[in-house]
Amino acid sequence: MRVYLPATIGILRQLVADGEFRPLSGTGFALTPALRESYVSGSTEELEYAALLDAARASLRLIATAQEGEGEDKALPRRVVISADVENATLRPDLDHAVVRLSGPVALSDVAAVHVDAPEAEPAVLAAAEVIDAADLGDPDAEFTLGDVEDHELAWYAPQELPFLLELM
């Protein structure tokens, strides 16, 4: 199953250094039967993109937490989504239509692609990370701020490009 895992630049560095990483709480997003049923229409590609966007929004929560502490993530506020093909995903429609849980770490060899914000998105990412909780609670101004960051497309990188990408950051 293709899963979309929210991450940060720090998590990406860990993945490259260790050859694997464990998603926070094992949480990922995927094209699940519940997600497919929640849309009136849409191709598989469009619905997978919806799951990827859910993971990108979850990445904002990780960035918000990183902004409270110290470290490399604070210097590079960019949404990161790791796309991987895994066998150990369990459906969790009780949490949301696209949510899945992974029972173990994800190996670099299972990664199909990585999606990362460009530097131009950083101000919008910081603003969105500050209001992500308010948006979840229905604040229209916060939703507008999230819309600004979601206007930025995530760049696509092959797994073998990750060391070079991280070196340039």
Residue 36: predicted pLDDT: 86
pLDDT over 70, % of the chain = 96
pLDDT of residue 72: 53
Q: What percent of the chain has pLDDT over 90?
A: 75
Residue 128 — φ and ψ, nearest 5°?
-65, -40
pTM of the entire predicted model: 0.92
Give the span between the Cα atoms of 122 and 51, in whole angstroms. Answer: 22
Distances in whole angstroms, Cα of residue 105 to Cα of each of 79, 108, 124, 144, 148: 20, 10, 30, 35, 32
Dihedral of the alpha carbons of 98, 99, 103, 104, in degrees to the nearest 10: 80
Return the number of other C-beta atoms located less than 10 Å from residue 60's C-beta: 25
Mean pLDDT for the stretch of residues 126-134: 93
Average pLDDT over residues 135-162: 94
> 151 burial class (0-12, 13-18, 19+ CB within 10 angstroms)?
exposed
Question: How remote is the C-alpha of 30 from its chain's centroid?
Answer: 11
Average pLDDT of the residues of the chain = 91
Q: How many CA atoms lie within 13 A of 101 on its CB side?
A: 9
